[in-house]
Structure 1
């Protein structure tokens, strides 16, 4: 039985691509040096897959920033404002990803959104009426030939035509249907070129098929692929889906002449039933996603072998595949020196998953698979105990009542009380929480962790940073301040380190977007809080000023969604355990005179099922109450903020309002303030702070630009409800650009106030 990988991590096991890219952005290395690092990484990825006898090794799964952005550039979907800069192709690519501000012009980056139900972000292709979709790039073919020169046979990977057109943003009168012919013809050109190069397979990724697909969508899909497949030549086409099942398009997939179909049997709850009910074509290869590409726990061979055995009864041709790209898990356990051997026995990162594929292939090939050493060792691991339970946590969870999820008094009364208490000006200005993590800040934290400085020295450095940050915020005139979060490595990792039940890695980095990588904690056992986590620094900041200072926390749903969760208990149970721990912190902050508390739920939408019919029962029914549990015990005059970023919120806006926060800030700058219409339509009660500028780009917005944005907001939002803030935390930005942007923000707010 053959094996296949949908995609592989690309930033490097030690984040080599991240560091090389950032040096390139700073002008410290040139494009040739950046390309050299990229080539070294690709070679290493192909080699490790080849060593583990992966039969279908992907190429073109590598990217400098994002695969959908790569696809847009390949197909000539480059808006005119970027072409007009007159930059090199690589510079144009990064201008689309990061924005550009320089001698050639000033343009914002493309919009950025979450990639389905993951913590990965994609760049949204932008199509206007003049866009001429055609084959313009060579990256797909160059990397196929690059692998071939290294004696590695690969299947090139490309985002499929349907997903591309569905995820694109249309800025003119034309919509997806108007680009069907050009798109299909361009994919035909891709297949033609691959035929010339001797490729055996191409993988076309169509994750959009696992979402709510309408009859019109299926007609669009069929129209595209009827044309594409009619001219495919000898190259075989694998239609790859992931992140769910294809219940709405299974028949259409079977009817079209695909050579292979990739189906997710991990997240696809109905995938097996679909195969059971409708069978699988003898003329097609089933690429069965049976190894979890998202989580880091070892595969349970007993369950996987049983699934494969059943699938063999329905599909004549079967390949073992990952459930999705391994982009969403860390590289390897080989660098982890602090994890115990007991811990590591249970984990499988990308390289370890390759070995699982090799073991599964070997086990299946034996006359008695269940007698093999690999199977016996795996079964013994799962029959053992991890000692993960905490009786006190479980008892506290069992004792919750409806009252624990309800804050009193109701919002309108709280809002009036808080307006009187804080007496803030119209359009109050604030930030989302974090300030730049400079080299000195990181060095201080690193020195403390390595034992090079004492705890007192470490804390004094942070106190000095907080004092300077608070003073500078006061100087530029912000209304609600923050302490800057200099003690925090990451908004989730920090809290995981402070809570019992989590374990941590040293090098288990996962790409979030571009050069931004995160190191998710691992939920090992039941979660609890043994001591305050943020009170000392927040209380110190509060003592330095007469202005309100927000206490900054990460919410339970985001902590869970940005961690690697347990698989032996439900997500709901884990979320409520974390909520109880954060609730204790909220009450401690309040007791220490922190009267505004922000509880970030940046990842609220992340685990939202991809089909709307599943939202309430499978997710929102516990995710929204988990947030309410965190803050339901505070006093009426304590103001609760929350923050969300880089997701589409319009369709869950009522659920967000039901979180019963007092103020919500959210990303809006890259989405052109589209969420404001949804807020108005649903009668949103919560006060709002749509981000007025994009912090994921290094450009500095002008005062006039910010005033224009505020004017657009005030056309639709009551001034009494509107806050002014960036769209996310400032941790990743440079010091100079941060303060320059915030000065412009405050000035813009003051000038707009003067006109009210």
Structure 2
């Protein structure tokens, strides 16, 4: 390697390279006792749903009783086989298995450990679909387990419920079965397990467990199960296993880190004769954690994220064990931009100078679960923009191309084509807009907070809206029926006229408005029949966005989203929602909410451009939403909801980086509504996440009313108010979980409201579901909302009588 490595495509997209220390005096290390072939490539994980969402449709058919267990298992087996064969044909050396899941990989680990909460009635034996899906989705008699975000992604995992009485046992042999399944196809895979420390620290205490109980104490109880799994994998012929420990990128306490070391010391004997890779991702690991991790003698390799792990290179330079392999995550597993191959190759060569030749394994930065599946299915995407992209299937090819280049087998044509696409993106006039950039620059000198206090605004709003105590509302969307989706598809494909489309949407809005009036809901929504997705819908009407047809990404279970691609500067050419909100308001005398998605959520739920800082893009989106808010107000809409469902999701994993994110995220929300009158009530909504640690930032957003997930997390949100946090704005902690088909009773909802009233003033409390109703059926929605309204009226009567 030369002392100075500068790729010909050096650009803002290659910012990782700017901080590279190009000269090293790091000594060469001797080769380890076992051998890997010179050209080595590795994939951390792969999407499960299929390029055309085959698993989604198979799951939903199964849940509806339209297909059998055999049918579902066949679809799953076909998907797994196609994925393994695809990677083998490309030339990937380390192909993962057990990254497939019927719902969630954390839930799979719960099944593997036999950690089933007692309410599901499991009595031992291999865990089947009945228990598995009951934990995930609930059933007629018991609620589902809690669901929350997987680190700082939009993927949701099922939170394990643990306590001192849990009897762990090896209850799901899925990892071994899938390894054998691949082996029968002639493909030797690397079975992947979620590591013991990550599993424990991603869990929560089961209901009723004393607060003094330490979940960490359970680590020693689950290690024996891991030993059984490892032994069975080894007996089946596995030579490598991958243990994911993403929790290692967090700021761990000394006891947590010691627990990690103890667990792997205990596992060391079972690793004998087996090569073990410990994989980390989503950030760099802290210095002390890095030292503890790389000191493990029984481990053959370590995987690091070199895309989001901005300090990883310096960590590696500080020392790397001479007998270990470095699995270098240089290809971004969380975005869809084509890798800058020249820049990545340069980084890999630098890494070789640190850890030694033939020690570097080219990898993705994390599982490709977080990106779209295959670009080949995007036949309608703009050709220029398409040339800038790489989905999961293309990233597999990029990884292997880099591995080949690293050993002197560079595909010159492939690298040249890649360089051309990067040059095209840098020079394209559609990427930058001088007017937008000037508007964002002007923000730095302005105060964008509303001038009046929230308490004064609420008084003015109540005079105008005249709402009852404990006002009821919903979060925005109503069920998206098959007929509704068909109308949207036909309009998009020009099979029906705009006139017919608008009339169909008006009919649906009228139906939703009448239903809400009949149910007795106080603040209405129009149901969003015209919207495909809460982010995509707005992106389609903003400049700087591109869209896919099959760019689906799993959010939870069978739920998939199709993130827009932000490729350039963002602006709003015209009003986006005013017509629909005004139409709905004309159908009722009750307040009608204008429904918008906030800038931080649009940012976090999109594939974001990587040629400028994220906060710059967010400010651009905020100014576009600000235009829409002010147009809604001028059109007579007095209640406007600006959803920031993903605010918590974007919080950096390292505490040192969190204040800056919260500063610009909160300011972005404030920008959207700083110009409205005191009488215009601004709502926001937040989804599944732990908000307690950022409650002060939520308060500083300045929303008049916030609705927030609460029921599926056992009212965890309420604890922050029990601890004395003062919240003067309106708040609606969700009273029932919409992600489950279960219908709560009036009494159950009333009980939840009473729990809220124990810590919140009745003057600020709102009654609403946890989230939008888009994914539910009317047969579930109508009785649930009827019970919700009845519960609110019941509590109002009791409050009025002084009971």
So what's the TM-score if we normalise by structure 1? Answer: 0.97
In the TM superposition, what whole-angstrom CA distance separates every residue of 1:216-239 from its partner, at most 9, and x where no partner exists? 110111111110123322121111
Deviation, 1:178, is 2.6
Q: Which residue of 2 aligns with 1:451?
A: 494
2:351 to 303, 311, 323: 311
CA 1:84 to 1:236, structure 2 compared with 1: closer, same or farther past 3 Å?
Answer: closer
Q: Which residue of 2 aligns with 1:4?
A: 42
Deviation, 1:84, is 5.2
Q: Which residue of 1 aligns with 2:711?
A: 669
Q: How does 1:286-685 map to 2 (within 5 A)?
A: 286-316=326-356, 317-366=359-408, 372-384=412-424, 385-387=427-429, 388-617=431-660, 619-680=661-722, 681-685=724-728
Q: Which residue of 2 aligns with 1:270?
A: 311
In the TM superposition, what whole-angstrom CA distance separates every residue of 1:482-509 from its partner, at most 9, and x where no partner exists? 0000000000000000111101111000
Q: Which residue of 2 aligns with 1:199?
A: 238
Deviation, 1:402, is 4.9
Does residue 57 in structure 1 map to residue 100 in structure 2? no
Check whether the contact 1:653–1:679 (CA below 8 A) recurs between aligned residues. Answer: no
Check whether the contact 2:581–2:594 (CA below 8 A) recurs between aligned residues. Answer: yes
Aligned partner of residue 712 in structure 2, secondary structure: coil
Unpaired stretches in structure 2, ≥5 consecutive residues? 1-38
Check whether the contact 1:134–1:182 (CA below 8 A) recurs between aligned residues. Answer: no
Q: Which runs of 4+ in 1 moved over 3 A?
A: 84-88, 401-404
In the TM superposition, what whole-angstrom CA distance separates every residue of 1:144-184 from its partner, at most 9, and x where no partner exists? 00000000000000100000011111122443233122111
Unpaired stretches in structure 1, ≥5 consecutive residues? none
Check whether the contact 2:460–2:678 (CA below 8 A) recurs between aligned residues. Answer: yes
Check whether the contact 1:511–1:518 (CA below 8 A) recurs between aligned residues. Answer: yes
Q: Which residue of 1 aligns with 2:106?
A: 68
Aligned partner of residue 631 in structure 2, secondary structure: helix
Deviation, 1:207, is 0.5
Aligned partner of residue 553 in structure 1, secondary structure: strand
Q: Tell which deviates more after alignment, 137-146 or 358-367.
A: 358-367
Check whether the contact 2:197–2:219 (CA below 8 A) recurs between aligned residues. Answer: no
In the TM superposition, what whole-angstrom CA distance separates every residue of 1:287-316 from its partner, at most 9, and x where no partner exists? 111100000001001211111111111213
Aligned-pair RMSD on alpha carbons?
1.4
Q: Which residue of 2 aligns with 1:236?
A: 275
Q: Which residue of 1 aligns with 2:759?
A: 716
**1: distance between equivalents of 2:618 and 2:775?**
28
Deviation, 1:366, is 2.1
**1: distance between equivalents of 2:444 and 2:304?**
41
Q: How does 1:209-248 map to 2 (within 5 A)?
A: 209-247=248-286, 248=288
Deviation, 1:404, is 4.5
Deviation, 1:687, is 1.4
**2: distance between equivalents of 1:504 and 1:423?**
42
1:98 to 133, 137, 161: 137
Check whether the contact 2:600–2:646 (CA below 8 A) recurs between aligned residues. Answer: yes
Aligned partner of residue 282 in structure 2, secondary structure: coil
**2: distance between equivalents of 1:530 and 1:176?**
52
Check whether the contact 1:113–1:122 (CA below 8 A) recurs between aligned residues. Answer: yes
Does residue 137 in structure 1 map to residue 172 in structure 2? yes
Does residue 176 in structure 1 map to residue 218 in structure 2? no
Aligned partner of residue 369 in structure 2, secondary structure: helix
1:163 to 198, 205, 208: 198
Q: Which residue of 1 aligns with 2:52?
A: 14
Check whether the contact 1:600–1:643 (CA below 8 A) recurs between aligned residues. Answer: yes
Q: Tell which deviates more after alignment, 445-454 or 338-347.
A: 338-347
Q: Which residue of 1 aligns with 2:10?
A: none
Q: Which residue of 2 aligns with 1:120?
A: 155
In the TM superposition, what whole-angstrom CA distance separates every residue of 1:527-559 from its partner, at most 9, and x where no partner exists? 111111000110011111111010000000000
Deviation, 1:88, is 7.0
Aligned partner of residue 688 in structure 2, secondary structure: coil
In the TM superposition, what whole-angstrom CA distance separates every residue of 1:53-81 from its partner, at most 9, and x where no partner exists? 11100000000000000010011011111
Check whether the contact 2:201–2:216 (CA below 8 A) recurs between aligned residues. Answer: no
So what's the TM-score if we normalise by structure 2? Answer: 0.92
